[in-house]
Amino acid sequence: MARPKLLHFSLTILAGALGAVLATLAHWPLPWMIGSLLMVALVRCVQREQHLPAVPGGRKLGQWIIGVGIGLHFNRYVIVQIGEHLAIILTAAVVTTVAAGIAVWWMRKGGEDGATAFFSSMPGGSAEMVNLGARNGAVLHRVAAAQTLRVILVVLTIPALFKLLFGQAAQATALHGTTQPLWLGLMFLLGGGLALLLQWRRKPNPWLFGPLFVSAALCSLADLHLALPSGASEFGQLMIGSSLGCYFDRSFFKGAPRFMLRSLSSTVLMTVIAMAFAAGLGWLAGIDYRSLTLGMMLGGIAEMSLTAEMLKLAVPLVTAMQTLRLLVVMAFAEPVYHWLEQRTRSED
């Protein structure tokens, strides 16, 4: 039994790598993530029997690598800049979260119960929203499907849209730093340890935040200028993309098509709202609206930070905005839901 399972996991990685190579040849943005995602999803949707399972721990491994890489963009100057723009970052996080209320209304209009509509629409991470939905009686497979569809839709469209509008600099993923094995090894070791601690404490996105916090802290405190080894970021993207692709199969699209369509349309609407507010905030604060837009997008932190890296935008700003929004949603989603439910009961 061990050999077939190992073979199937290997096929998942090979399919993802094939999609990544084809996407690279086609000059797609983030080819190692988007290409692998689409190829794995396509194969799984064509197959009658699933032989492309998610690699155990694959997404965690990818996030571990990408988390360290994102943290390398931080330094003392960047931390000061983030502090100076903290009000803008907080405003963007609140605006994006409030905009999700429109999606909740749209879901309720489609006949969904309050818990399912609410936790399907909150941009706080799929695993975290599923956990909160479970505590409040939501239909979990719909919450998971809506959260997954939103992240994948943003990952597939936003990098391509930004590349089309703003172009892509050559070797955009390269940092102006050196590969120092001792420092990087320490970051991976401490980052993995912190990820395990955060996972044990049931904190959101532990395998991204743990390595990111460690590498960002070390780079800021020791004023380091490091870069990941060649190919490391691509491998991390491959593991994340292949894992996301495994969410798809025939049943994913056959189940509750109206619900999925409403989820899709609400994601588009929230994306438009985020882009409009980002343009306004950028004009008021004199900050690059492209970075603000990526910071307000409803995709994952790793995916949007990688897009900022590809376009040579303000990666730390995008990361800070995405992280703060996640913390805001995690802190207030459940209390706000309970308040809305009590208000609805009192009105009835």
**Mean pLDDT to the nearest integer, 58-80:** 90
Q: CB under 8 Å to 270, separation ≥6 — which residues?
A: 96, 99, 100, 102, 103, 123, 298
pLDDT number for residue 256:
65
pLDDT tens per residue across span 257-285: 788 888 888 888 888 888 898 888 888 88
What percentage of the chain's residues is helix, strand, coil (to nearest 5)? 75, 0, 20
122 burial (CB, 10 Å; 0-12 / 13-18 / 19+) is: buried
For 23-63, the pLDDT digits (tens) are: 999 888 788 988 998 899 899 888 776 678 889 999 999 99
Q: Are 309 and 286 in contact (CB under 8 A)?
A: no
Residues with Cβ within 8 Å of residue 320, at least 6 apart in sequence: 82, 89, 295
Give the number of C-alpha atoms closer than 13 A to the C-alpha of residue 318, restricted to the C-beta side: 28
Cβ–Cβ contacts within 10 Å for residue 347, how many? 6
| Rg (alpha carbons) of the chain, rounded to whole number | 20
Average pLDDT, the chain: 85
DSSP for 53-73, please give it. PPPTTHHHHHHHHHHHHHHTT
Q: What is the pTM of this model?
A: 0.81
Encoded tokens for 146? 């809506």
Residue-wise pLDDT for 172-225, tens only, equals 444 557 788 999 999 999 999 999 999 998 887 899 999 999 999 999 998 888
